[in-house]
Amino acid sequence: MFDVARVGVHNGNSGLTGGPMRLSDRGAVSKRLMAIQFALLASLAAFYFLYLPYRSKSQAAAEAQERELKIEALFQSLVVEDTRGEVELPGTGGKVRVHPQRLSRMPAVDEVVQSLGLPDRRTTDFKSGLHMTWTGTAHSLEASFDRGRLYCLRREDLRTGHGALVFESSVAWHPF
């Protein structure tokens, strides 16, 4: 009769090619395929639920650190100490005196946004003044603009809540 183990594949040119054809155990193949598919699905789920949130948190931390450096650089470039006088710091009982600060120049809104990137918060006041806030890892910087020009910087330490309001004139300088 007919022997399944000796039947080969005919390629049309030279006769038989390949080895003997064996019947496979269909149940074992489908179980292997299901196990492979399950392993791939588990790998994808682990990637999406474990790695991607970790990666986004680390990227956000790196961006906040970079923004902190930009905040410090901008503040240092725009603020100078007025060495003509001294003012006592509030809450020290007159024991600590410092030089007041003032703005060295009043850049336009576009210059500040170019230096720091898009703000975290943007508001306007009743006189159409623009207030933009950037937050880093240790400090928050609020820039206030009137008619498109910077007139006040407010830098606050996020840990202590202390900071200073720096205006065009050192007379209006206000630590808090």
pLDDT digits (tens, 9 = 90+) for 76-91: 999 888 777 777 766 6
Boundaries of domain holding 116: 64-175
Q: Is residue 125 part of a domain?
A: yes
AA letter at 166: V
Pick the more confident residue, 85 or 123.
123
Beta pairing partners, 167: 152
Structure token pair of residue 118? 């898009």
The Cα 141–Cα 111 span in angstroms is 15
Q: Is residue 147 part of a domain?
A: yes
Helix (H, G, I), strand (E, B) or coil at 131: strand
Q: Is residue 8 part of a domain?
A: no
Q: Is residue 48 part of a domain?
A: no
Number of domains in the chain: 1
Q: Is residue 112 part of a domain?
A: yes
Confidence of residue 17 (pLDDT cuts 50, 70, 90): low
Q: Is residue 27 part of a domain?
A: no
pLDDT of 63 above 70: yes
pLDDT of 50 above 70: yes
Q: Is residue 138 part of a domain?
A: yes
Helix (H, G, I), strand (E, B) or coil at 137: coil
Return the closest-CA partner of residue 176 out of 146, 142, 127, 128: 142
Pick the more confident residue, 114 or 11.
114
**Which distant-in-sequence residues (6+ apart) come within 8 Å of 30 by Cβ?**
none
Q: Is residue 5 part of a domain?
A: no
Q: Exposure string (b/e) for 121-147, b if CB count within 10 Å is 16 or more?
A: eeeeeeeeebbbbbbbeebbbbbbbee
Return the closest-CA partner of residue 143 out of 167, 162, 172: 167
AA letter at 37: Q
What is the reported pLDDT for 175?
A: 73
